[in-house]
């Protein structure tokens, strides 16, 4: 990511030759990373499936789009970057693959922006929409969980209970039915927590040993 950010910044600043040279380093870095990732003990995280993964892939854009354009370079930097950044029916699969890679290396913002760009260009593309919608749902869910880390300005206790149920499902892995049953059985305790203004996610985590 360091090499890619550097290459893109040079492009935006108008240093096309320097950016081209930097993209050569991007390709080399992606090949080195791809070939050596299994030698590390790091366990990657997939935001869509929300679970760890033992190996990382999704290098199609680098292997096909970047590699092809570097090999076909004829000395015209403007043409090179036009082809490098365009999203076409021929390379859309590689572009989606790149967005998926961003999401797996903790670059959620980049994954959202890039996948949104793909969807805006091809709004009817099924795979692009599926990935973008899945990713944004995860982002929104995590954002809402973060909001539940603080006691909100609730209008009534029912809104508080709804947040606890949401947190039980999304923080602790409860089914919706089990979450609703739990808050029903612990109604008196939840009333006390509501009065003491305990955050909804803290309340849910108090029941964490009961998860599963």
Q: What are the structural domains of the chain?
A: 41-144 (1.25.40), 151-210 (no CATH)
* 67-116 confidence digits (pLDDT tens): 999 999 999 999 999 999 999 999 999 999 999 999 888 788 899 999 99
204: nearest Cα among 150, 178, 167: 167
Distance CA 12, CA 184 (A): 56
Helix (H) or strand (E) holding 132: helix 126-147
* Structure-model confidence comparison of residues 115 and 57, the more confident one: 115
% of the chain surpassing 90 pLDDT: 75
pLDDT of residue 57: 86
pLDDT for residue 180 is more than 70: yes
pTM over 0.85: no
């Amino acid at each position: 990511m360091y090499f890619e950010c550097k290459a893109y910044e040079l492009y935006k600043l108008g240093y096309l030759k320097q950016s081209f040279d930097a993209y050569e380093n991007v390709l080399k870095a992606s090949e080195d990373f791809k070939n050596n990732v299994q030698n590390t003990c790091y366990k990657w995280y997939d935001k869509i499936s929300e679970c760890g993964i033992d190996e990382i892939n999704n290098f199609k854009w680098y292997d096909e789009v970047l590699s092809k354009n570097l090999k076909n370079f004829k000395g015209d930097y403007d043409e090179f970057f036009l082809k490098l950044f365009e999203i076409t029916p021929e390379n859309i699969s590689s572009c989606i693959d790149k967005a998926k890679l961003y999401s797996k290396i903790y670059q959620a913002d980049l994954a959202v922006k890039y996948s949104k760009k793909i969807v805006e260009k091809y709004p009817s593309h099924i795979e692009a929409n599926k990935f973008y919608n899945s990713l944004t749902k995860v982002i929104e869910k995590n954002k809402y969980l973060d909001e539940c880390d603080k006691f909100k300005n609730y209008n009534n206790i029912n809104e508080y209970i709804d947040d606890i149920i949401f947190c039980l499902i999304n923080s602790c892995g409860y089914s919706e039915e089990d979450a609703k049953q739990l808050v029903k059985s612990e109604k008196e305790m939840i009333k006390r927590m509501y009065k003491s203004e305990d955050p909804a996610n803290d309340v849910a985590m108090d029941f964490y040993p009961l998860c599963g």
